[in-house]
Structure 1
């Protein structure tokens, strides 16, 4: 089985080495040097790859996405018809996202934006101490990443809530679902964390209406996809004081244009889609397991359900 590997140039060799360390017998071709297209039976790819290009490989039996999100694979033309697609559920990827959420929850909770502004102005002023038990966290999405973020925050004493499309239970988390549940959670949320998959139903979920339901002075953390946020609505909420600050790791488009207002906004923290980056050595065993299953005709793990969008 020849495997086509396609990702950012600076990560290609790390992925190749990690996959070969797991199975030295793999025949890995690094895009664009695929050799005979008929040789390629699996493709391990990220957003750098042109999905139309994959139609050149007549014997393709499996695609593996190098991340948890798969919205980039749903864009036209999409994966080749009939080719199963698997995504990653990697412990290091999950823990990295929980770290990012914790980092920014604590920055907002411990008034870091205010203290940095005071530092810039050379002001020595002690702000009132925040109470962890009164800082309510609302998480949009309680999948692998959202549940891990919740479990990281709970031991610190934060009241944690979570919203999902359908009913779901997570120990220690007050859960909500459906349209009415979303509104109910937002009204009680001091820090809103978006970790939803991007689907037609969740696109633009952070908008003027939903931001307006938050208690005045709430914060936003978005580490899901840029398409979840209506930028103009968030900027208006920041400027009015309805939202006190936002930590944003994802945007639409990416890279974030250099003239975008987020770059210079005093209440916005910007990351370059780096909240949690897949570590090849950690993810390689899962990828190789799926390659073996495809070769042997066994059921694949972590298959994408494109009807659900994840």
Structure 2
């Protein structure tokens, strides 16, 4: 029998308790899912959240793969004891949630909705916003999530340009890469979305110099990782009027401390890391498919490249 150890948030276990065994049986896999293993050496797969207290994988000598429930693996990818294959979560529900958050907040800023919702003087201002085809979006990060968001915004007629550290090609989306490409998309972007993993190369990607490339009044949306943006540089640009607004879903410290300047800044919107979440109904299917592949000797889905960090 295949033994799967669930080692993630106990509060979420109830969401997986019934669906995982049912899907494993449906896939023809004789498996048991437990929250506590009799001994580490008996475990075949670890279903894992990088925030879990398990940080030493040395004793799991039979483990064929660690299957993350999160899209981001930066907390664990550098763990020297993790020698087993590591797979990140790529799930349709997670992608759909991210697309909805990015599209919703892009439209909010594009349409200037805030000035109508917050209008204490009852000012009648019939100024119409430009059309989406007149607004340019810079999508920093063209992985699964960034590409899905870019396509959704392009479907609404926004001028979308993609950027990634290495060269990529996405049909219908002009793509740029490298430092020169980053400068080009930032200088043209009315809305800049950051959807990159946290790696040594992406930390503080938007520093004071690069924020300085952005158009006056441009808006930043960050549902990616808090460390992608230099907080002090962002606040300075907002205070100077160089940027129009920042809508942030991720932070260097979470929950965001109550005394953090982001909470009080009139040009910052804080959302509590809700842009995309792993939903058990979709994630369980991804986990089971990878277990099936492992048992059949097939390549795992969404295998993490340790050298790149994602």
Report TM bin, short chain: over 0.9
Mapping for residues 74-153 of structure 1, pairs under 5 Å: 74-75=77-78, 78=79, 80-118=81-119, 121-131=120-130, 132-153=132-153
Which of 56, 61, 76 is 1:58 aligned to?
61
1:232 aligns with 2:232: yes
What number of residue pairs does the alignment pair up?
304
Task: Give the match for residue 189 of structure 2.
Answer: 189
Distance 2:155 2:82 in 1: 45
Indicate yes or no: 2:245 matched with 1:245.
yes
Aligned to 2:33: 28
Give unpaired runs (5+ residues) of structure 1: none
Following superposition, the deviation at residue 48 of structure 1 comes to 2.5
Q: Is the 8 A contact 1:113 1:267 kept in 2?
A: no
Q: 2:50 aligns with which of 40, 44, 47?
A: 47
Change (3 A) 1:212 1:244: same
Please say if residues 51 and 79 of structure 1, whose CA atoms lie closer than 8 Å, have aligned partners that are also in contact: no
1:37 has 2:40 as partner: yes
TM-score (norm. length: structure 1): 0.93
SS in structure 2 at match of 1:28: strand
Are the counterparts in 1 of residues 51 and 75 from structure 2 also a CA contact under 8 Å? no
| CA deviation after TM superposition for structure 1 residue 147, in Å | 0.8
Query: 2:50 touches 2:73 (CA, 8 Å); kept in 1?
Result: no
What secondary structure, in the 3-state scheme, does the structure 1 residue paired with 2:51 have? coil
Shift of 1:294: 2.0
Structure 2 residue matching 1:210: 3-state secondary structure: helix
**Contact 1:204–1:230 at 8 Å: present in 2 too?**
yes
What secondary structure is seen at the aligned counterpart in 2 of 1:213?
A: coil
> Cα deviations across residues 24-72 of structure 1 (Å, max 9, x unaligned)?
4431112xx3332222221111132134243343322210111222112
Q: Match for residue 277 of structure 1?
A: 277
| RMSD (Å), alpha carbons | 1.6
Q: Is the 8 A contact 2:57 2:82 kept in 1?
A: no
| Cα distance in structure 1, aligned partners of 2:232 and 2:277 | 28
> 1:72 maps to what in 2?
75
Q: Deviations over 1:148-169 (max 9, x none)?
A: 1011111222111110112222
1:231-266 Cα deviation digits (max 9, x unpaired):
111111111111111111111111111111111222
Structure with more helix by fraction: 1
Q: Within 2, Cα distance between the matches of 1:304 and 1:212?
A: 33
